[in-house]
Amino acid sequence: MAKNDLIGGELWEQYSNKVADRMNNPRNFGDLTEVDAQKMGGRLVIANEGAESCGDTVRLFWIVDEKTDTIKKATFKSFGCGTAIAATDMMAEMCIGKTVDEAAKITNLDVEHALRDQEDKAAVPPQKMHCSVMAYEVIKRATSIYRNVDISTLEEADIVCECARVTLQTVEDVIRINDLKTVEEVTDYTKAGAFCKSCIQPGGHEKRKHYLVDILARVRAEIERERHPERALTDDFAKLSVVKQIKAIEAALDEYIRPALARDGGGIELEDVQPGENGNVNVHLRYQGSCKGCAGSAAGTLTFVEQTLRKNLSDKIRGVVV
Amino acid sequence: MERIYLDNNATTIVDPAVRDAMEPFYCHMYGNPNSLHSFGIEVRPYLHRAMEQLYVGIGASDEDDIIINSCATEGNNTVILGFYFNLLKDTRKKHIITTQLEHPCVRESCRFLEKHGVKVTYLAPDREGLITAKMVEEAITDQTALVSAMWANNETGLILPIKEISEVCKERGVHLHSDAVQAIGKVKVDLKEVPVDYLTFSAHKFHGPKGVGGLFIRNGASLPPLLHGGEQMGGRRAGTVDVPGMVAMGKAMELANTHLPYENTEVRRLRNKLEDALLKIDDILVIGKRELRTPNTVYVSIRGVEGEALIWDLNQNGIAASTGSACASESLEASPILTAIGADKELAHTGVRLSLSRFTTEQEIDYTIYVISKAITRLRGLSTSY
């Protein structure tokens, strides 16, 4: 959230003139039939993508010259919003004159670029980017029909964000290389999640196979394990030697807890580590500075300390204030 | 281009008489009504008069409270969160009943309380798109503290049997809250006849300004404030009252009741004319029985035509309407009303709402009928599914 996000509601005013124009007057809509194909001496390909219950469907018609694999004519029909109609219209136009293999390389990003009025200004607002994805998918569908191959053989690597076409590998690499800690950072680096936001977490516009929150959590955990094998979250924490337990607790206090307490002029010291009931580990702590005698330190602060240690070390940990 | 506004369930034009009523309180009588001096003194009689207009307008008695706030969203949050602090937190009553038809401000407030251990029942509408008193009765348990059911639905205009629901609640000793945002000015809201305990409304839905609303609390019923820190509204809502807004809302309420007969004859006639014309087009479904709806609203589902695409075409012709089509929103869930009345899943994205007001003219309706028919023909020509 920031200044430009607070009013919201902007949608149509962010469409480029080209999008609005193609919504009002699509150039390439309508059916193509076997009769048309015969007249043009080509093969008719009809591909369907999407479902009306999901709010978007598109049908792509191609007449392909089988000698050269060249698309001689392309038209579409669409049940969808203005962006879907404009993007599909542009996509159909971009297919014309290309070979099937060339057309199969057209992505939703190419379509969006072609719809821009100015090179540096997006043709549609972020939340409408996914409406152009169907235009891309239907080309893949048409190609698979023409080539008589399964569509999965044409799919690229695991895509996390359809709008920005970011792969799982890219997201993982970017998190690792740049040591990213938040989803916002991942979005800033990759553009994944910047558009319809479906891939950020479950419950968005559409269901996704991968979500950025999950990928981030997984990669972060991997990074932490690699960096601090001694802190590995394990049920065996209780079985570690007391020296190792103390080292791990001290490290966690330094990294997560002491800086937070220091902001309020407080501090905390590890006094002792004792085995507790049911395999628990009792961590004896002594407050320093302003935490000493503070009313909140008995309840709120202890909860924070305990939760942090449990999250990072072991859920067997019980905090005891000395 | 002349523009036509058929989105009156979203907001309304401020009646010029309302604007005239509020105008003096910006640059002339701008005192704080809590001040002791003459600037405060001269304002207060107008606030008393506005209160009088509001009390008369909804049939509140002198023992009841009407808290002036910013909007019905605030009022609904005040009631639902207030119930949590008041009752649910400390007693064994930990259950709220509401409906799937509610505005997000009710639904999300309830979801928020669910995270804090409150049990919430979201009643699904029947095939008419309605909630019945029987459904409410069957959902009430000895843990139920509050029922929250809207008076009329924003999308379809369907009017809930709030009187019957209120009787069930009264009999079972459960408090009833009703969001009446879509009811004021369209149907009679008389709290002498309908014993709801809490009622909320927003001025901008009945030709008042945006940013001011009301929360009715019966007979001083207990409810902690949402905003703390001032003695305004008897300590029930802190913050200097929006004086021009309150004066305007009083006037708008008075006018809403004056024009209620017109709403139910002329506005209804124009709505019916529009609806009848739409029904002549093939494969169009109007949601909700006409006699069960507010007189100004028609919600249609047009096979083969995506909702946002249709309102785009209408907008190109200067007509403002709205859609529940999910393409424009973040979720793809179909409207619960459409699901409930058994509409095909395919129809979930075809809903368009047209809502009139007492400012709508016959000429505007005739032009709309012409434009909408043309747009449907064009979009069906493009459509994969028609």
Residue B331: closest C-alpha in chain A: A205
| B209 φ, ψ (degrees, to nearest 5) | -80, 160
Contact B382/A127, CB-based, under 8 Å? no
- Selected for mutation to probe chain B from A81, A83, A138, A141 (highest B CB count within 10 Å) is A81
DSSP codes, A99-141 = BHHHHTT--HHHHHHHT-SSTTS-SS-GGGGGGGHHHHHHHHH
Residue with the bigger pLDDT between B361 and A279: it is B361
Q: Return the pLDDT at B381.
A: 94
Q: Return the pLDDT at A26.
A: 96
A230 confidence band (pLDDT: 50, 70, 90): low
Q: What is the pLDDT of residues A64-80, one digit of tens each?
A: 999 999 999 999 999 98
pLDDT of A47 over the 90 cut:
yes
E-strand stretches of chain A: 43-51, 56-65, 70-79, 159-161, 166-167, 266-275, 281-289, 317-321
A205 confidence band (pLDDT: 50, 70, 90): confident
Contact B331/A78, CB-based, under 8 Å? no
pLDDT of B329 over the 60 cut:
no
Catalytic annotation, residues of A: 54, 131
Average pLDDT on B267-271 reads 98
Task: Pick from A4-18, A163-177, A243-257, B181-195 the range whose average pLDDT is largest.
Answer: B181-195
Q: Return the pLDDT at B371.
A: 97
Average pLDDT on B312-328 reads 84
Contact A57/B385, CB-based, under 8 Å? yes
pLDDT of A234 over the 70 cut:
no
Cross-chain CB nearest to B349 (options A12, A55, A203) = A55
**Mean pLDDT taken over chain B:** 93
The ipTM value here is 0.85
pLDDT of A109 over the 90 cut:
no
| Tokens representing residue A243 in the block | 């020296």
Catalytic annotation, residues of B: 327
For chain B, what is the HEC assignment? CCCEECECCCCCCCCHHHHHHHCHHHHCCCCCCCCCCHHHHHHHHHHHHHHHHHHHHHCCCCCCEEEEECCHHHHHHHHHHHHHHHHHCCCCCCEEEEECCCCHHHHHHHHHHHCCCCEEEEECCCCCCCCCHHHHHHHCCCCEEEEECCCECCCCCEECCHHHHHHHHHHHCCEEEEECCCCCCCCCCCCCCCCCCEEEEEHHHHCCCCCCEEEEEHHHCCCCCCCCCCCHHHHCCCCCCCHHHHHHHHHHHHHHHHCHHHHHHHHHHHHHHHHHHHHCCCCEEECCCHHHECCCEEEEEECCCCHHHHHHHHHHCCEECEECCHHHCCCCCCCHHHHHCCCCHHHHHCEEEEECCCCCCHHHHHHHHHHHHHHHHHHHHHCCCC
Q: Which of residues 129-158 of A touch B (CB under 8 A)?
A: 131
Average pLDDT on A304-312 reads 84
How many other CB atoms are there within 10 angstroms of residue B4's CB atom?
Answer: 21
B327 CB neighbours in chain A (<8 A) are: 55-56, 80-81, 84, 131
Cross-chain CB nearest to A58 (options B326, B345, B384) = B384
Closest Cα partner for B309 from B329, B330, B323? B323
B345 CB neighbours in chain A (<8 A) are: 52-53
Q: Return the pLDDT at A20.
A: 96
pLDDT of B258 over the 80 cut:
yes
Q: Return the pLDDT at A294.
A: 66
Q: What is the pLDDT of residues B5-43, one digit of tens each?
A: 999 999 999 999 999 999 999 999 999 999 999 999 999
Average pLDDT on A82-98 reads 94
Q: Return the pLDDT at A2.
A: 78
Closest Cα partner for A25 from A79, A89, A70? A89
**Mean pLDDT taken over chain A:** 85
Whether the full predicted model's pTM is greater than 0.95, yes or no, is: no
Residue with the bigger pLDDT between A7 and B78: it is B78
Contact B331/A205, CB-based, under 8 Å? yes
Q: Return the pLDDT at B330.
A: 46
Look at A103-107, A170-174, B45-49, B346-350 and tell me which has the smallest mean pLDDT: B346-350
Contact A53/B348, CB-based, under 8 Å? yes
Residue A24: closest C-alpha in chain B: B313
| Cα–Cα distance measured from residue A188 to residue A186, given in angstroms and rounded to the nearest whole number | 5
Look at A8-22, A90-104, A237-251 and tell me which has the smallest mean pLDDT: A237-251
Residue B335: closest C-alpha in chain A: A53
Cross-chain CB nearest to A55 (options B326, B384, B386) = B326
How many other CB atoms are there within 10 angstroms of residue B1's CB atom?
Answer: 6
Residue A86: closest C-alpha in chain B: B309
pLDDT of A41 over the 90 cut:
yes
pLDDT of A226 over the 70 cut:
yes
Q: What is the pLDDT of residues B173-227, one digit of tens each?
A: 999 999 999 999 999 999 999 999 999 999 999 999 999 999 999 997 889 999 9
